[in-house]
Chain A
Amino acid sequence: MTALLRVDNLVKEYPIRAGVFRRQIGTVQAVSDVSFELGHQETLGVVGESGCGKTTLGRSLLRLIEPTSGTVMYEDQDVTAASKKEMRSLRRNMQMVFQDPYASLNPRLPIRDIVAEPMRIHGVSKKEAGERVGDLLRRVGLLPEHGNRYPHEFSGGQRQRIGIARSLALRPKVIVLDEPVSALDVSIQAQVLNLLDDIQHEFQLSFIFIAHDLAVVRHASDRIAVMYLGRVAELADRDALYEQPAHPYTHSLLSAVPIADPRRERARKRILLQGDVPSPANPPSGCRFHTRCPLAQDRCVAETPELRDVGSGHQVACHFPIAPGETLLDRVGAMGRTVEIAST
Chain B
Amino acid sequence: MDQPTDRPTGVEHGIAGSGGEVRSFAYSDVLTSDEAVALEGLSEKPKSFGRLAWERFLRHRLALIGAIGLVLIALLFIVAPWFSDYAFDERNVRDRLLGPSWDHWFGTDEIGRDLFVRTAQGGRYSLRIGLTVAVLATVFGALMGAIAGYFGGWIDNVVSQLVNLILVVPALIVLSVWALKFGSSANQLSIVLAALLWTRIARVVRGVVFQIKEQEFVMAARAAGASHGRIIVRHVMPNFVGVIAVEITLLLGTAIVLESTLSFLGLGVKPPNASLGTLVADAKGSIDNDPIRVLTPGFFIVLIVLFVNFLGDGLRDALDPKSKAEH
Contact = CB atoms under 8 A, between A and B. Distances in A.
Nearest to A108: B238
Contacts of B223: 62, 64, 91, 95-96
A132 to B, nearest CB: 14
B216 interface: yes
Interface stretch (A6-14, A146-154, A256-264, A290-298): A146-154
Interface in A87-121: 87-88, 91-92, 95-96, 98-100, 103-110, 117-118, 121
Given A64-B222, A64-B223, A143 B39 contact: yes
A188 B42 CA distance: 22
Contact of B235 (A106, A110, A157): A106
B38 A152 contact: no
A42 B284 CA distance: 83
B18 to A, nearest CB: 12
B220 A155 contact: no
B226 A117 contact: yes
Contacts of A145: 39, 42-43
Contacts of A279: none
B35 A99 contact: no
A230 interface: no
Q: Give the bracket for the number of chain A residues in contact with chain B.
A: 35 or more
Contacts of B219: 59, 64, 96, 98, 104
Contacts of A88: 225
A215 B267 CA distance: 75
Interface stretch (B23-31, B86-94, B294-302): B23-31
Given A98-B219, A107-B322, A150-B321, A194 B239 contact: no
Nearest to A94: B223
A158 interface: yes
B54 interface: no
Nearest to B223: A96
Contact of A152 (B39, B216, B217, B321): B321
B47 A141 contact: no
B326 to A, nearest CB: 17
A121 B225 contact: yes
A66 to B, nearest CB: 12
A154 B29 contact: no
A251 interface: no
Contact of A104 (B44, B220, B239, B322): B220
Given A64-B219, A155-B38, A163-B220, 19 more contacts: A91-B223, A98-B216, A98-B219, A100-B216, A105-B217, A105-B220, A109-B238, A110-B49, A118-B224, A121-B224, A141-B30, A141-B35, A145-B42, A155-B34, A157-B32, A158-B35, A169-B224, A188-B32, A191-B32
14 contacts: A88-B225, A96-B220, A98-B216, A98-B220, A108-B239, A108-B321, A118-B224, A138-B28, A141-B30, A146-B42, A150-B321, A157-B35, A158-B35, A191-B29
